[in-house]
Structure 1
Amino acid sequence: MALIEEVKKICSRLAVHGWRDLLLQHGLDITASDLKTELTKVLPHIKREIKGFEDFALEGKRAIEPRNPARSLLFHALASPNVVSGVDGRELRAFPTLAEIDTVENYVYGIKPPSLLELRARANRANLAIAVFASEYRPAPETVLQKHAEMCYSRTGVARVGTVEPLYNGRSRGFLPFVEKNPHAFRVLPARYSAYLAIQIKGNKDRFGPMRYNVRQELNRLDPYTYPNPGDDKQRDFWVPLHKLFNGKECLRGLNLHLILKAHHINEKLRRIHLEIGPQGTGWQEPDISNPPFIFTEGIAEWSNNPDYGTGILLPVVHPHLVEAAQYKGKPLTFKVPKDYNQILSSSLYIPASDRDARHAPEYVHARFQILPNGQQVDLNEQQNVAEIVAKGDYDALHFIDFTGDGWIEAICPELAVVLPRRVPAYSLVTAPDFFPNADQRELMDWWQQSVPRSLKKSTWRITPNTLSDERLPPNLEIKNAPFRKEDTTVTSVVSFLLDKPVHQMPLEVPETNRNSYLPDAAAGVFAPGWDVSFDINADGTKHLAAYGLGSPFPEDSKLCAALSTFWPAVAPDSARAFEPNENWPTISPLTDEEIGQVGNLPWDGVTGPKIVNRANQEFVEYAAFDNVDYVKNAIQNQFSLALTGKVSIRKYEFRVLAMARVYRALGIKEEAFYKTGVPDTQAFGEITTEKAKWSVLSFRKVSADDAELKEAQSSTNMTLHGDVYRFQVYRPGNKKYVAQRVFVEIKEMVILFVDPIQILSKKGNGKWELKNI
């Protein structure tokens, strides 16, 4: 069927649900008998004041602008998550499917199909190739150039594992992770890939980007807190889409294309563990470790066959649990925990990094389910000295697998194999869940860089909230037969449609999207070891991305990332306050009482937060002992939940970080006092951390204006708090006592604080309420 006939069917279906009346406001009749002419005529009265069209490109004059989705009014209307209301202000009664949006996008490129010679001429002698991109149409504030609503592209896609089939939400034009009536389930989150004829050119922040353009390497040396990413993008090579490729005769003039996307993924965490420690330590060697589940390619991700999703939708394979016990030759797979390995962190087996912090194997390995010679399973988490048992080793432990992995997506087109022999694959990541799906890494990084005072900036997170798209590393060079190149250091960057000349600035005051993004600016960067991907160094010294450096299985690493003060901002919840006080990891971005299960029954990790108890006529704070908490066991039992953390918007997340920083100041900890002339930043950071760790957050919750305690505080100080108001209850911890996998911490001093965006009211113990000037 010709593309125009498919577009007619789409327009006909949507017209009766409010779309015809909506688009008639712009002079476009999607039920016109000669639809092709209607779609290509100039529309002189496009009303950008209509909700959802505010950021439609001012240069857009038609319903379909050949080879330019962002200037095509029909495509914008269908693809923008902000076009949701009809002419009466009510929500439209139906929304386009992902397949329908894909069809209209193909029509944008196919209405006047160019020849290869024309595209070569436009490339102006630049390198050409068939390249695969993950792509997403976004509102203006979320785009690369931030000029108008636009397509964003990356040669890296990030899909996320789950326990339930995916759900496409037409209203938001995206996939959502939540499962109604099952707060402990996770929907798999796919990534969308397409093939393009692409050109290779140097970075150009005015023509295509990349997003968060790196200016020059010296910036990192001068100010690593504001400019944490070294490199000079104007000297780097980027692949930029020039023309979308799709099946049929309407893509390129004179050719009938048959395009195939192929996906290849691998998980080799277990194999890497045994290679790194060695057979003398673990008991396994070749040829066994070259077999599943030590290394496997099945059960990670597959192409969707749902007709409503269209082509190029990569779905992580649904499994009943996020992790499973490993099986080998029909039996539970065990390994010998190395004797006196003396490498643990908490109760995890820890495999140290090699030179330059490279990860040849998973950094953390679960080893707390002992298997006795008779096959009996012993849960070592029930032993108070579990960390000592793991450190001593010399026992058989059960291996676990997760279904994450990395690999590549390639496009094969026989009709172009000779004239365009170079094929550039996309790097595909299948990663752990994101517990803050509405708080993207890029948004947090922009706020942190541009708005947070320098003194606070240098004393919040142990690492900066870098996005994966900020990295300038090639994809996994260790995957056998992968068509990756070590010089391809821009694979995770996000670029825009290539502009030939400047465009007008459109309003940026449009709603934020509430959907999962599979582009790498919404994913975490790499460091010790990472959340979405880690890095390694191959034999010739090339640093590259690699998923096998993450925890085995991933919840083993998630526990440590969460407990270490939101070690990965915007993806890992900050569980520091849920466990016994730690002198190195004070709370940075507190979870609410509901989110850690102090109130209600939905702790995000299955671990109920602390509570005050009375022992021998003295009050203590009771915690679950950190060493004995097992996220892997909780994952098997489906105890994780993003029902509450998934509701946290980027603005609420930012408020938490800033509120916590202001609370520390109210307690007398001022960052400026530590950053003195001649004092290294790392030393100052350590001193600030030590001071903050003298206080622990016992309670953090939002309060209403009629809260009795808040009224008392306001009355006593003759002050009124405005906006969102949160109540903090913090205390200075004293001695600790460990009893049967629980920890009881002495309370030396208690402080209650009410915090709004501007003011803080504070009371120590039974003292008076005070206004704190921060």
Structure 2
Amino acid sequence: MTDIETQALDILHKRFEAGWAPVLARFGIAPNFGASVEAVRDALLRPLAAFDRADPLVSDLAADANAALCPNDPAKSVIYHVWAGSHSTPGLDRPPLRELDAVENYIYLLGQHESLPDEPLVPMVLAYAYRKRAATAHRLHADMVYSRVAVTRVGTRDARFDSERQTWESWGGDGFRVTRARLGLFLCRLVDGNAANVSILDRVDGDGQRSFALPVRKLFVGARLHNASMIQSIRFRGHFLGDKLKRVIDVSGAAVPGTLDTSRPPFVNEAQLDVPAGSQTSDTAIEMNTFDGACIVGPRPRAQLVSVATQDTQIARFVVPPREGPPSLLRGHGIDVGNLSINRHYTSLQVPSSKTRLAIEAVFAEFEHVLPSVLYPLPKVRPRAAPEFVNMRHRVEPDGRITVLGNTLPPGEYEAQLDAGGFEAAMFDDGTMDGAVWADIDGVPASAAFVLVTAPDFFPRADEEDLQAWSKTNPSRAAWHEFKEGGPTPLSAGRFVPNLLLKDLRRDAPLFTRADNTATAVVGRPLPQGSENPQPEVADFRRHAGGFLPDSASDEFAPGWDVSYDELDGTYYYTTHGLGSPFPEDVKFCASANAYWPAASPDAARTFERPNIPTAVPMLDDELGFHPESPDGTPDAKPGWDGEFGPFFETRDGVPGVNSADIRRSDYVYNATQNTFASRVFDLSSDELIRRIEALRACLDAIPKAGSTMPSETHYWVVGAKAVRDTDARAPRYTFELCVPDNAHARTVESRTVENAAAPGYWRVWRPVGNRIKAECRFDGPDGLVPRSVRYARFDDATDRYGEWQVRDVP
């Protein structure tokens, strides 16, 4: 105890001298560090006199927190709350995570004399974070939350921890930062999901009969495990596996050149970590820093988000199989021509694990909005044993050069080449993996945490959890009303098990079992007897939880963003190997499907206008990018976030129409290699996304009906979207220009001003449109989430201008 206590008191003394003394004195905390250790300890444990709980530093502190340090309870320790909470501390540096970990250990050490529950206790590695009230599982006060799943993200810049928000930054100014997760070793009770036993952030049907892990104490070198002797050693271990490229070959049956070995990298990438407490190590892909009872783990920065995969000196590649599908008379028309296929999705290779299940899922999708009570969200009928979509548009020539087909071949020849297949297509490495981290305590393994290494998040200040909560505040906001595909369900609401293929290779033992179906849950201390979770308030949607726990990630679906799922002997498990190869291939379809995952995926439905998939969360014109030929464009215009340009009205041969990007030509993977994809991150919070959802919904409700007033079923295409900002940073009103497209007569066009076929904006799609309308909605102020009025005006093709405004109040 002496070493742990000495270390913690030294940290406290140093931070008090660094400027924290007068701040903490506001709460009556003023220990004399020159006194004996016993006297300092007593001062830190002594009950405090009443203090101002309206102070922003302690406004969401637990009501019964009344000591500088509370044994076994960081949330009721005022010093810990002030240092670890996500509130502003201007001008003062907080302790780094290593020091905060030492203070945590001391808090738990002070309570080691307290008796443990008389029930089986299990040592487990958990992801954990200290959060403000609105982001906890019980929403009563700031507290710790825990999960058996952590979410980390790839990037091209070093990791950086934001101590004020207590999370890792996502954007480095000129590229995505890698993000990491904080994992700790805890002694846990296994309890059923009854509210008297545990609080659960996203409670789902059946949780009362499921088992959840809830920490009793933190474990570290020097702590005691049960009533046994003191822990002498802790080694954190990890196993990470990325085998997407091998699965592309195995499941699709595509051939590879005989000179490539699909059992080696880049087809199969593995990382094994073995790190004693208090040190660090790194594999080529994964880095781990350990403290005495916790660790920080996540991917290392990459030179590029996506790179051509190589083995020795060869490009990893496969022979593209020919298109499978119905005869040409069923090939569709317009933008969807040729899209009805078993192994194609537009111009991507589709790799269905089961063609029968693919057909069943397609039927369900057709009736999803007809029978939402039964089919929303879609039943889980088709696990992904391999990447759902694979880029096949980079042809590898005999001399090793790569030809980007979408930048080279003219219409007709381009589609024919992709249909015929038979050429070698380059494969790409994106760094995504599944991982597990566990700890050996004096040689005995503890239960593991599941660690996802997945794609960047374009909305790091917005959470799926917030949008999901908003969708439940009113029946008219139900997710199926807003989203044609996907929706805001967070990963914390999922109940599949972690990847069952991950093993402790030293023992040849699986790390997860079929019973681990609550791993993604975010949990905390149980509610006091007789109390209930408070309903979310408007302020709760500004919780800015962010970070690495599952409520900040999307649940599985198809296509996915953060995670997909597969099946082993009838049990569904979470994995990244069902995501696109590489992940930007999925991002294109997620984004073009009305922000499939609205707190991660920018809504590019406006950019592409896929038939019957309307916009849900409108991105603004400047966010999508002004094409050089658009009214706001310039010859040197830069593309938007994804390397593409947004749509614009354009009359051709006297016919009104819209010029837009072509989803068949668009290649986010190529854009990534040119550093135009992921060229920016959006500083949009959950409440800003909610405002945009509400703005569009109010406008569609007010203007003449086209298909439906529900955003998920409307026939309107949002071609223009602008925010009108006065003196406030948040827009008091939005203006949309809408029309109804004639997708049956879409045709490929070339840009009149962009001369290079490889340049953004060269190959485009033009289609006639009608029913052009401008709509504008106004908010009462920067804090309002629902518009108060809408006005709209019809466009007169004869005069080439909008008519008079008609005004509607929002009910």
Q: Structure 2-normalised TM-score? A: 0.81
Q: 8 Å contact 1:147–1:503 — kept in the other structure? A: no
1:55-82 Cα offsets, whole Å, 9 max, x none, are 1111212111111111111111110011
Alpha-carbon distance between aligned partners in 2 of 1:577 and 1:209, rounded to the nearest angstrom: 40
Residue 289 of structure 1 aligns to a residue in which SS?
coil
Match of 1:725 in 2: 733
Counterpart secondary structure, 2:776: strand
Judged with a 3 Å threshold, the aligned counterparts in structure 2 of structure 1 residues 689 and 58 are, in CA distance, closer, same or farther, namely closer
DSSP-derived class of the 1:77 partner:
helix
**Alignment partners' CA distance in 2, 1:474 and 1:670:** 43
CA deviation vs aligned residue, 1:639-678 (integer Å, no higher than 9, x gap)? 2347452x1111110111121122222233399x89xxxx
8 Å Cα contact 1:348-1:367 kept in structure 2 = yes
Aligned: 1:653 with 2:658: no
Aligned partner of 1:572 in structure 2 is 601
For the residue of structure 2 that corresponds to 1:639, the secondary structure is coil
Indicate how the Cα distance of structure 1 residues 276 and 505 shifts in structure 2: closer, same or farther if over 3 A, else same.
closer
What displacement does 1:18 show?
3.8
Q: Is the 8 A contact 2:542 2:686 kept in 1?
A: no
Q: Partner amino acid for 2:286? A: E
* 26-35 vs 63-72, which moves further: 26-35
Instruction: Kindly report which structure 2 residues correspond to 1:243-282, keeping only aligned pairs within 5 A, or say none.
Output: 243-248=217-222, 254-278=229-253, 281-282=254-255
Which one of 142, 150, 159 corresponds to residue 157 of structure 1? Answer: 150
Q: For 1:87-486, what aligned pairs fall within 5 Å after superposition?
A: 91-114=90-113, 118-119=115-116, 122=117, 124-125=118-119, 127-180=120-173, 182=174, 185-214=175-204, 231-248=205-222, 254-278=229-253, 281-283=254-256, 288-298=261-271, 301-305=285-289, 311-342=294-325, 343-354=343-354, 355=357, 356-382=381-407, 383=409, 384-385=411-412, 386-414=414-442, 417=444, 423-451=446-474, 453=476, 457-479=480-502, 481=508, 482-486=510-514
The 3-state SS of whatever aligns with 1:352 is coil
What is the aligned residue count? 703
State the partner residue of 1:23: 24
What is the alpha-carbon root mean square deviation over aligned residues? 2.9
1:249 to partner: Cα distance: 5.1
- Answering whether residue 738 of structure 2 is matched by residue 737 of structure 1, we say no
How far apart are residue 730 of structure 1 and its match? 1.4
Aligned equivalents of 2:512 and 2:415: distance in 1?
A: 40
Choose which of 771, 777, 782 in structure 2 pairs with 1:755.
777
Write the deviation string for residues 752-773 of structure 1: whole angstroms up to 9, x where unpaired. 1111211111111131111034
Q: Secondary structure at the match of 1:698?
A: strand
Task: Give runs of aligned pairs for residues 547-566 of structure 1, distance below 5 A.
Answer: 547-566=576-595
Q: Post-superposition shift, 1:613?
A: 3.9
The answer to whether the 8 Å contact 2:138/2:527 transfers is no
Displacement of 1:368: 0.4
| Residue of structure 2 aligned with 1:37, choices 38, 42, 51 | 42
Amino acid at match of 1:491: A
d(CA) in 2 for partners of 1:266, 1:149:
35
Please give the alpha-carbon distance, in whole angstroms, between the structure 1 residues aligned to 2:533 and 2:321. 61
- 1:652–1:511 distance in 2 versus 1, CA, 3 Å: closer
- Aligned residue in 2 for 1:716: none
Between stretches 445-454 and 559-568, larger displacement belongs to: 445-454
Classify 1:602/1:391 alpha carbon distance in 2 versus 1 (closer, same or farther; 3 Å).
closer
Tell which has more relative contact order, 1 or 2 (C-alpha 8 A, sep 6+). Answer: 1
Counterpart amino acid of 2:43? E
1:372 deviates by 2.2
**CA shift in 2, pair 1:303/1:752, >3 Å:** same
Contiguous gaps of at least 5 residues in structure 2? 272-282, 326-342, 358-380, 627-631, 751-762, 779-786, 796-801
Please say if residues 290 and 296 of structure 2, whose CA atoms lie closer than 8 Å, have aligned partners that are also in contact. Answer: no
Alpha-carbon contact 2:317-2:426 (below 8 Å) kept: yes
| Aligned residue runs from structure 1 range 584-733, under 5 A | 584-598=612-626, 601=638, 603-616=640-653, 619-641=656-678, 643-645=680-682, 647-669=683-705, 692-693=714-715, 695-705=716-726, 724-733=732-741
Per the alignment, residue 366 of structure 2 pairs with: none
TM-score normalized by the length of structure 1? 0.85
User: Structure 1 residues 491, 286: closer, same or farther in 2, change over 3 A?
Assistant: farther
Between 1:39-48 and 1:506-515, the stretch displaced more is 506-515
Q: Which residue of 1 aligns with 2:337?
A: none
SS in 2 for 1:656: helix
Deviations 1:82-108 (A, max 9, x none): 1x34xxxxx233222121221111111
Q: What CA distance in whole angstroms lies between the structure 1 residues aligned with 2:189 and 2:693?
A: 41
Residue 275 of structure 1 and its aligned partner are, at CA, apart by 1.2
| CA spacing shift, 1:644–1:558, aligned 2, 3 Å | closer
Distance 2:29 2:225 in 1: 25
The AA in structure 1 aligned to 2:616 is I
Unaligned runs of 5+ in 1: 86-90, 215-230, 675-684, 708-721
Compute the displacement of 1:7 (Å): 2.4
Q: Any residues of structure 2 matched to 1:759-770 within 5 Å, and which?
A: 759-765=789-795, 766-770=802-806
Work out which of the residue numbers 499, 524, 528 in structure 1 matches 2:554. 524
What is the correspondence of 1:67-82 to structure 2 with a 5 Å cutoff? 67-82=72-87
Q: Which residue of 2 aligns with 1:226?
A: none
- Contact 1:263/1:302 (CA < 8 Å) preserved in 2? no
Paired with 2:533 and 2:320, the residues of 1 have a C-alpha distance of 60
Displacement of 1:547:
1.3
CA deviation profile, 1:200-241 (whole Å, cap 9, x unmatched): 111122442222222xxxxxxxxxxxxxxxx31110011111
Query: Structure 1, residues 679-711: CA drift from partner, whole Å, max 9, x if none?
Result: xxxxxx8xx855x23x2112112103499xxxx
Distance 2:403 2:113 in 1: 67
Look up the equivalent residue of 1:578 and give its one-letter code: T
Separation in structure 1 between the aligned mates of residue 349 and residue 424 of structure 2, nearest angstrom? 13
Paired letter, 1:737: R
The answer on 1:543 being equivalent to 2:572 is yes
Residue 345 to residue 146, structure 1, CA distance change in 2 (3 Å):
same
C-alpha contact (below 8 Å) 2:482/2:616 kept by paired residues: no
Whole-Å Cα distance in 2 between the matches of residues 649 and 75 of structure 1? Answer: 27
Q: 2: distance between equivalents of 1:769 and 1:19? A: 58
Q: Note if contact 1:12-1:30 (Cα within 8 Å) is conserved in structure 2.
A: no
Report the AA paired with residue 486 of structure 2: I
| Structure 1 runs (4+) greater than 6 angstroms displaced | 250-253, 284-287, 502-508
Within 2, Cα distance between the matches of 1:276 and 1:157?
A: 28
Distance 1:103 1:301, change over 3 A: farther
CA distance in 1, matches of 2:593, 2:735: 23
Q: Partner letter of residue 67 of structure 1? A: N
Aligned counterpart, 2:783: none
Q: Give the residue type in structure 1 aligned to 2:463.
A: D
Q: Note the C-alpha offset of 1:345.
A: 0.7
Identity across aligned pairs (percent)? 30
Q: Give yes or no for contact 1:266–1:300 (8 Å, CA) kept in 2.
A: no
- The structural deviation recorded for 1:544 is 1.4
Question: Matches of 1:325 and 1:491 in 2, distance apart?
Answer: 34
